[in-house]
Amino acid sequence: MKIVVPHGIEMVEEALALLRTAARVVVLPDNSEATLRAEMHEANAILMGASLRLDRSLIESASGLKHIARLGVGVDTIDLQAATERGVFVTNNPGLTADSVAEFTMALLLGLAKNIPRCDRAVKEGRWEERSVLLNDNVELNAKTHGIVGLGKIGGRVAVRCRAFGMRVLYFKRNRDLEFERSAGVEYAPLPTLIGESDSISLHTPLTAETENLFDKPQFEAMKRTAFLINQSRGRVVNEESLIRALREGKIGGYATDVYEDEPPDAKSELFRFKNVVVAPHVGGVTRESRMRGHMAVAAEVIKTLKGGIPKNVVNGEVLQGLKG
């Protein structure tokens, strides 16, 4: 058996050791198409990070492939149809990074509200006089309204944390969660209402045909001019061109993100020139604790698949139906 680990995925040693008890593990020196195609030819499983794309031709080149295991949640970089047609399990790893991402969401929100990056640079660069400007720009979260778009495991944890800050919380998702509304003290709102009433909004939706460019010019026009937007979903859920225009015209109060339309993003993008933009290099779900939990869980599920079992968190359920048939 052979397991492929793409370049750039720094697996914890304990997870690699576990994988090696069941198969030969090949860590790729790079993610070029030539290297991927050569190593996937005999691969039985491949681990997936956020940046690598696995298209139909690569999937079809691996005749023995049984399992594509995503270390995170989003599977938009995997050709699910091609994998399903080949009977290949595609799994993700929900929940294990939820606390990490929720905490990072709050860090980004606080970074905007309290201008933490600007404060840091002002002191380090000897611009103490900037203190007078920052005193007027900093705002409180208490008694403000926070809107959550996508109330899954991450969104739910963000809601609880916002409530702890004394915020009113609105949420939007396809199906209302009445039990969570009662237990967490949050309110359901249609998306237009949420956008119009929120002082800050965080995005926690997968990237689908429905959510691509979910926030575009009309949404920015409808937001409060002081409102913050935090993107913790996928870069293309927000139309960056429209976002930059909204920031340039002062249509929103600020933007924070850990994800981008293209990763890595163009360092010369105008997005990075705004003082009310806080950015991070797609690390929201990564902590010492979450890496250990996530990597060990994925390793165990890959081994289960290679031994003939059915892994948890199968995204392409049609494969399971094929097994039953």
Please give the C-alpha separations between residue 190 and each of 147, 156, 197, 235, in angstroms, as whole numbers: 11, 17, 11, 22
Taking each helix axis from N to C terminus, what angle separates 153-164 and 98-113, rounded to the nearest 10 degrees?
50
Say if strands 89-91 and 67-70 run parallel, antiparallel, or are unpaired.
parallel
Which of helix, strand or coil describes residue 163? helix
Distance CA 232, CA 238 (A): 10
Nearest residue to 172 via CA among 145, 207, 142, 204: 204
- List active site positions: 234, 263, 282
Distance CA 166, CA 145 (A): 9
Peptide linkage before 264 cis (omega within 30 of 0): yes
Distance CA 192, CA 208 (A): 19
Greatest Cα pair distance, the chain, in angstroms, is 72
